[in-house]
Amino acid sequence: MTTQTLSLTGRALRLLSAREHSRAELERKLASFEEAPGQLARVLDALQAKDFINEGRVVESVVHRRAGKLGASRIKHELQAKGLEPQAFAEAVQALRASEVERAREVLRKKFGEPAADAAERSKQMRFLASRGFGGDAIRKVVSGSFDEQG
């Protein structure tokens, strides 16, 4: 079956087979293929009823893929961009914040290998962690201490 002849359901399933998508993402990606008003909504309703579209799995997937590299605020932003309601991912973001220092320490260790030798290097490391979405408290704790400290 070629791309031109794929049904709306087929297109949605093809997207979902690659990774988890939120309903809002699917609406955005498939809107141009809708042939009749309401067709896309009916297709997405049917897929949601069969649990092919599941917000909980979308949150879990994003957190699993991104937590090793990004801070809680950046992951929260990605989840919001997927059109998910804040209450759908609030608990996951809270859990990420609880482990933020450990994750920031690991990201910094992978990128730089050793603690900063001077103020310029510390500044560079702080900017790097901030660009990854880690919070200020976590950044200060990690950069001001050695990579091996706990807490």
Work out the mean pLDDT of the chain and round it to a whole number: 92
Show contacts of 2-8: CB within 8 Å, 24+ apart: 8/33, 8/34, 8/35, 8/39, 8/40, 8/43
pLDDT at 84 > cutoff 90: yes
Asked if 48 and 1 sit in the same domain, the reply is yes
Number of H helices, E strands in the chain: 9, 0
CA angle 47, 78, 132 (to 5 degrees): 150
In a domain, 29, yes or no: yes
**DSSP-derived secondary structure letter, 37:** T
49 and 61 assigned to the same domain: no
**What average pLDDT does this structure show over 103-125?**
94
Domain harbouring 18, CATH code: 1.10.10
Radius of gyration of the chain from its Cα atoms, rounded to whole angstroms:
20
Whether 7 and 18 map to the same domain: the answer is yes
The answer on 49 and 22 residing in a single domain is yes
Q: Is residue 151 part of a domain?
A: no
The more confident residue out of 6 and 68 is 68
Q: 2 and 41, same structural domain?
A: yes
39 part of a folded domain: yes
Q: Which two tokens stand for residue 126?
A: 């702080």
Instruction: Please tell me the predicted confidence (pLDDT) of residue 146.
Output: 62
Share of the chain above pLDDT 70, in %: 93
Q: Is the pLDDT of residue 135 over 60?
A: yes
The pLDDT of residue 3: 45
Task: Report the domain count for the chain.
Answer: 3
Specify if 149 maps to a domain.
Answer: no
The answer to whether the Cα torsion of 121, 123, 127, 132 is positive or negative is positive
Q: What is the pTM of this model?
A: 0.86
Angle between helices 100-112 and 136-144 (to 10 degrees): 50
Give residues with Cβ within 8 angstroms of 84, minimum separation 6: 22, 24, 55, 58, 59
The domain of 80 spans 54-98
Q: What is the mean pLDDT of residues 75-93?
A: 94
